[in-house]
């Protein structure tokens, strides 16, 4: 006869692992409840099985990517043309770097990519994106610093279409979700772009720093208030931070995680893999 209760010691250990990975108390409790329910129902017999259940239940909280089972999320064959991707997030999370890496991946697959430098605020932000453009070999549309970000975005879409671009990626300034004016500006950028191309942006990607703790949940909440968020990228997972907060976010807001950043070079972007991500949380 198998044990139908998970013992406290295992649960304590589990709690420590999850909390230490930034999963957060609420989501951790949720995972533990799910496991207890599963164990109650299935009557687990050994620790190995429990381990598998645990991973499955954790992974189940991560929202599905709607584009069903794309093996390679860098694959963009069935997308509308041009596909406009706008990248948002708080300060310093890795937006510009992720854009450089994405441009490289799309370009490698024979797509024509154009970048729009709509961070006109942070010192040398335009230069940074231009250097990425050079590095990867894609054009960057810019109006220089301290110009209107909406006009830059508009122009990037317009010029991108003239250049027959497949993908247009718009960089935006880092902004804390507590700054109302800056948050409203995102809505404005979107509206201005839509004047030119009504379906744009086709995707708004929010970038999260993998070392961020529970504040990331509030970031997601506040950004989704001003614009739909279609995908998440989680960066800096090449360090010791686990990025576990994304589980609760993906669950609560039903946003799929698309990519992970694993370094500062142009090849350091990977397609998100649920099971690998969950396994990394439990790696000793």
Partner 1 sequence: MFENLSDKLNKAVKTLKGQGRISDINIASTIKEVRRALMDADVNYKVAKDVTDRVREKAIDRKVMIAVEPGQLFVKIIQEELTELMGGQAQSINLKGSPAIVLIAGLQGSGKTTFSGKFANYLKKQGRQILLVACDIYRPAAITQLQVLGEQIGVDVYAEPENKDAVSIAQNAIAHAKSKGKNIVIIDTAGRLAVDEVMMKEVENIKKAVTPSEILFVVDSMTGQDAVNTAKTFNERLDFDGVVLTKLDGDARGGAALSIKNVVNKPIKFISTGEKMEALDVFYPDRMASRILGM
Ligand X SMILES: Nc1nc2c(ncn2[C@@H]2O[C@H](COP(=O)(O)OP(=O)(O)OP(=O)(O)O)[C@@H](O)[C@H]2O)c(=O)[nH]1
Please report, to the nearest 10 degrees, the dihedral formed by the alpha carbons of residues 59, 10, 12, 20 taken in order: -40
- Separation of alpha carbons 203 and 82, rounded Å: 12
262 binds, among ligand X, partner 1, Mg ion, none (CB under 5 to 8 A by kind): ligand X
116 is a contact residue toward ligand X (CB under 6 A): no
The number of beta carbons lying within 10 Å of the beta carbon of residue 276 is 12
Query: Is residue 88 close enough to count as binding ligand X by CB under 6 A?
Result: no
Looking at the Cβ atoms of 92 and 213, the one nearer to K ion is 92
Give the number of other Cβ atoms within 10 Å of residue 173's Cβ: 19
What is the closest distance, in whole angstroms, from the C-beta atom of residue 117 to Mg ion in the complex?
A: 9
Contact at 8 Å (CB) between 279 and 253? no
How many other CB atoms are found less than 10 A from the CB of residue 86? Answer: 26
The 8-class DSSP code of residue 233 comes to E
Which residue's CB comes closest to K ion? 209
The answer to whether 243 contacts ligand X (rule: CB under 6 A) is no
Report the C-alpha gap between 279 and 237 in whole angstroms: 13
- Residue 42 in the binding site for ligand X (CB under 6 A): no
- Judged by CB under 6 A, the stretch of 11-19, 68-76, 261-269, 276-284 that binds ligand X is 261-269
How far is the C-alpha of 136 from the C-alpha of 249, rounded, in Å?
32
Q: Is the bond preceding residue 71 a cis peptide, omega within 30 degrees?
A: no
Strand, coil or helix: what is 258? strand
Please report how close the Cβ of residue 282 comes to partner 1 at its closest, in angstroms.
Answer: 15
Asked if 26 interacts with ligand X (CB under 6 A), we say no
If the CB atoms of residues 12 and 199 are measured against partner 1, the closer one turns out to be 12
CB 194 to ligand X: min, Å: 23
Residue 190, CA distances (Å) to 38, 98, 147, 174 in order: 44, 20, 16, 16
- Is 95 a binder of Mg ion (CB under 5 A)? yes
Q: Which is nearer to ligand X, 12 or 238 (CB)?
A: 238
Q: Which of 35, 61, 88, 90 binds partner 1 (CB under 8 A)?
A: 90
The number of residues that bind ligand X (CB under 6 A) is: 22
177 binds, among partner 1, K ion, ligand X, none (CB under 5 to 8 A by kind): partner 1
Interface residue with ligand X, options 97, 105, 120, 211 (CB under 6 A): 97
Instruction: Give the position of tokens 């043309």.
Output: 81
Residue 172 in tokens: 């935006």
- Which CB sits closer to ligand X, 27 or 128? 128
Closest listed residue to residue 61, CA positions, set 284, 234, 275, 259: 275
Q: Is 96 in the site for Mg ion (CB under 5 A)?
A: yes
Per CB under 5 A, the list member of 132, 209, 257, 258 interacting with K ion is 209
> Which residues form the interface with ligand X (CB under 6 A)?
89, 91-97, 119, 122, 125, 173-174, 176, 235-236, 238, 261-264, 268
């Amino acid at each position: 006869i198998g044990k139908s209760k998970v013992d406290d010691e295992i649960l304590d250990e589990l709690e420590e692992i999850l909390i230490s990975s930034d999963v957060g108390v609420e989501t951790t409790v949720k995972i533990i409840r799910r496991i207890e329910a599963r164990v109650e129902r299935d009557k687990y017999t050994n620790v190995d099985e429990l381990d598998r259940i645990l991973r499955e239940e954790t992974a189940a909280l991560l929202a599905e990517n709607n584009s069903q089972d794309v093996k390679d999320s860098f694959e963009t064959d069935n997308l509308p043309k041009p596909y406009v991707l706008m990248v948002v997030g708080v300060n310093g999370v890795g937006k510009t770097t992720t854009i450089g890496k994405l441009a490289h991946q799309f370009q490698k697959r024979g797509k024509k990519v154009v970048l729009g430098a709509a961070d006109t605020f942070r010192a040398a932000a335009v230069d940074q994106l231009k250097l990425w453009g050079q590095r990867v070999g894609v054009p960057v549309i810019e109006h220089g610093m301290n110009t209107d970000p909406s006009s830059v975005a508009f122009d990037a879409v317009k010029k991108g279409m003239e250049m027959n671009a497949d993908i247009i990626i718009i960089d935006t300034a880092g902004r804390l979700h507590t700054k109302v004016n800056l948050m409203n500006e995102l809505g404005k950028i979107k509206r201005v772009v839509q004047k030119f191309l009504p379906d744009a942006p086709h995707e708004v990607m929010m970038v999260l720093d993998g070392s961020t703790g529970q504040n990331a949940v509030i970031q997601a909440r506040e950004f989704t208030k001003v614009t739909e968020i279609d995908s998440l990228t989680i960066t800096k997972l090449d360090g010791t931070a686990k990025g576990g907060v994304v589980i609760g976010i993906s669950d609560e807001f039903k946003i799929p995680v698309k990519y992970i950043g694993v370094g500062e070079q142009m090849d350091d972007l990977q397609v998100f893999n649920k099971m690998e991500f969950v396994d990394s949380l439990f790696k000793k």
